[in-house]
Amino acid sequence: DTGVSQNPRHKITKRGQNVTFRCDPISEHNRLYWYRQTLGQGPEFLTYFQNEAQLEKSRLLSDRFSAERPKGSFSTLEIQRTEQGDSAMYLCASSASGRSYEQYFGPGTRLTVT
Amino acid sequence: QKEVEQDPGPLSVPEGAIVSLNCTYSNSAFQYFMWYRQYSRKGPELLMYTYSSGNKEDGRFTAQVDKSSKYISLFIRDSQPSDSATYLCAILNRDDKIIFGKGTRLHILP
């Protein structure tokens, strides 16, 4: 098992463009989480999945953000019409069900919106 | 009041010293407490989690929870330059979500 992976590692885009990030969790983990982290802050929860079901979305997640986990394996996070305020590190984590306290993070995707 | 608060530092200590990192939290109902280490431009790495009160040790790292004062600590013995990173404390709240502190930047001076 190679841990949680995320692609791309870095994305530079112009304001107004759409971007999509991918996360591959640890294979036996059925929970998958998305977080956003800005400079000098801890990660902030965005949304999470139990298998393919999206169970909760933070109010931080505006209508321009959408996440999917179609077959309960990898997940994608899409941001439409990007804004400069979307510039951040987007982190994915996974855990086994019932062990939310034991989340393992991927390396993150750093988004820069110019 | 924020659910978990952490001094951002930076904290600089000489190599070999004992490091003490601390956080406070707001709700006595929290039961799970975690420490993550994050190197620059990398994802957070889980160091350890603790359930309820008491101490937990893993090599040079000891996590301590004092529920009476709502205080959590991480001690690093025999600190090494490779320990230089940001350390994030975190709690699992009643909604089963992890809430992180802002992180403390630690520098170990050779």
pLDDT digits (tens, 9 = 90+) for A53-72: 999 999 888 899 999 999 88
**Residue of B41, B95, B98 lying closest to A103 (CB–CB):** B98
* Average pLDDT of the residues of chain B: 95
Contact B98 A45 (CB under 8 A): yes
- Taking residues A85-111, report their average pLDDT: 97
The mean pLDDT value for A26-50 works out to 96
Q: Tell me what the pLDDT averaged over chain A comes to.
A: 95
Do B101 and A42 lie within an 8 Å CB cutoff? yes
Residues of B within 8 A of A4 (CB-CB) are 43
Shortest alpha-carbon distance between residue A75 and chain B (Å)? 17
Chain A with chain B: Cβ pairs closer than 8 A: 55
Residues A73/A83, Cβ–Cβ less than 8 Å:
no
Residue of B37, B71, B72 whose CA lies nearest to B56: B72
Give per-residue pLDDT as tens, B17-60.
Answer: 999 999 999 998 899 999 999 999 999 999 999 998 889 999 99
Strands B104-109 and B45-51 come out as: unpaired
Question: What tokens does A106 get?
Answer: 């991927």
Interchain contact B96–A (C-beta under 8 A): yes
Q: What is the rounded average pLDDT of the residues B68-95? A: 96
Mutate to test the interface with B, among A7, A21, A44, A103 (most CBs of B within 10 A): A103
pLDDT at site A69: 97
Question: In Å, how far is B104's CA from the nearest CA of chain A?
Answer: 9
Gap between the Cα atoms of B81 and B61, Å rounded: 15
Q: Give me the pLDDT at residue A72, please.
A: 87
pLDDT score of A1 = 55
**For the CA atoms of A40, A42, A43, A44, what is the dihedral angle to 10 degrees?**
-100
pLDDT at res. A60: 81
Q: Contact A42/B102, CB-based, under 8 Å?
A: yes
At residue B102, does pLDDT exceed 60?
yes
